Amino acid sequence: MHTTTKTENITIVLNNPKYPGNIGSAARCAKNMGIEGLFVVGHEYPDMEKMKQMATHVASDIVENIKYFDRLGEALSGFNYIVGTTSRLGSARGPVVQPGEMARQIADISQNNKVAILFGPEDAGLANDELKYCHLLVAIPTSNELKSINLSHAVMILCYEIFTARTPSSERFTPKLATSFELEGMYGHLKEMLVKIDFINLEKPDYWMMNIRRFLSRTKLFSKEAQIIRGICRNAERCIGNKKA
């Protein structure tokens, strides 16, 4: 027996898209593949007419229901699992999987968790500082001749893989994970504590945090575990406070 992805738990998140036509086109692709959630992060509202033109009337409901955010962290705060898309590979970015492998993992995780599929702007893609939110990175394989894929076509490939993925039915699926909001609170706390105990350098804290984020995000933490880590931080801070006092 196989189980399919819960597409109602999947949301496409476009970070700073430049062209409203691409947003509309992405809306149509999502709807083709049974995905209804679309978030847009940016500093101004995109042109509604241009979006609807590319979405066609059948996907205009997706466009009308887009949720808009100023900041990426805010857009992602309610998700339990975040997949980042990248075309640049490199050890600095950690392990990157192919779309089919990503989709098989999501088929399981989506049963009990809200999943965001995050895309960067057309020209530059996601910056390292934006990829830090992600539990998993995915890259679409391309020819060396032309690596740059149009945004809406990248959305289509990932939505298609998610829609068609099958996961072998197991007795239990991945239970509900901590939200991005809880994790960011935990990472903030952890960073403060690690600075206080002189484990990480005040000048380059984010460099060290990136390495810690990498293995903790692979671990798929639950809310309770994020609280445990914050509890450790609190106790450590209290001890240092007592000692230094």
Per CB under 8 A, residues contacting a second copy are 7, 25, 28-29, 31-34, 56, 58-59, 98, 100, 140-143, 145-150, 152-153, 156-157, 160, 163-164
Q: Which is nearer to a second copy, 137 or 159 (CB)?
A: 159
Rounded least distance, CB 30 to a second copy, Å: 9
3-state secondary structure of 89: coil
Rounded least distance, CB 142 to a second copy, Å: 5
What is the spatial distance between Cα 140 and Cα 159, in angstroms, rounded to a whole number? 12
Q: Which is nearer to a second copy, 53 or 174 (CB)?
A: 53
Q: Which is nearer to a second copy, 32 or 223 (CB)?
A: 32
Q: In sequence order, which residues have a C-beta less than 8 Å from that of residue 203 and are 6 or more positions away?
A: none
Rounded least distance, CB 18 to a second copy, Å: 14
By CB neighbour count within 10 A (0-12 exposed, 13-18 middle, 19+ buried), where does 180 fall? Answer: buried
What is the spatial distance between Cα 225 and Cα 48, in angstroms, rounded to a whole number? 42
Nearest to 184 by CA among 139, 130, 232: 130
Rounded least distance, CB 32 to a second copy, Å: 5
Rounded least distance, CB 29 to a second copy, Å: 6
Q: Which is nearer to a second copy, 44 or 145 (CB)?
A: 145
Q: Which is nearer to a second copy, 33 or 194 (CB)?
A: 33
What is the end-to-end Cα distance of the chain in Å, rounded?
A: 62
In the chain, the amino acid numbered 222 is F
Rounded least distance, CB 150 to a second copy, Å: 6
What is the spatial distance between Cα 25 and Cα 16, in angstroms, rounded to a whole number? 15
Q: Kindly state the tokens that stand for 19.
A: 């062209």
Q: Which is nearer to a second copy, 49 or 123 (CB)?
A: 123
Nearest to 63 by CA among 12, 123, 15: 12
